[in-house]
Amino acid sequence: MKHIGIEDLIPHRGRMRLIDEIIEVDENRAVTSAVVNETWPLFDGEAVNPLVLIELVAQTAGICNGFERIKELGMDSEKKGWLVGVKKACFSVVAIPLSTQIITSCEDVFKYEKFREILGVNRIGEDIVGEVTLQVFQPENNAQ
């Protein structure tokens, strides 16, 4: 199989693609790296709001979901969006400075058909700075 890149797995492009590197991925778990830059949403000139940690968990979950899609349906399969709900989010920082590396891991804790509950953890160095639980659902595309 050809090398799978970030843009093969998630639909995010431009300034909305926050992930810089996939560290680990399989059908149930993913680990990614991202470095805060001035083009990120919620950047105020010095730092980003920790709410962006939710998006990092969502994109990391998308990496995992995209990997499963490619494994099941092939490289040329359609990338479909997921509806995402935030069940819980806890942050231990008030801001994340420019050029900070954030390692995000996520794991499926519940999976049934196209519904998943995902637990995500964001780290800066050894410190946990965010813990996020997402509920995601991929509706069927019934448009004709």
Domain 6-137 grouped into CATH 3.40.190.10: no
DSSP-derived secondary structure letter, 45: S
Please tell me the distance from the alpha carbon of residue 20 to that of residue 61, in angstroms, as a whole number: 14
The tens digit of pLDDT for each residue in 41-88 reads 999 999 999 999 999 999 898 877 776 766 766 677 666 667 889 999
Residue pointed to by tokens 């519904």: 115
Mean pLDDT of 23-52: 93
Domains of the chain by residue range: 6-137
Strands (E), the chain: 21-25, 29-35, 47-48, 83-91, 96-97, 101-112, 115-124, 127-137
Specify whether the CB–CB gap between 95 and 48 falls below 8 A.
yes
Is 98's pLDDT higher than 70? Answer: yes
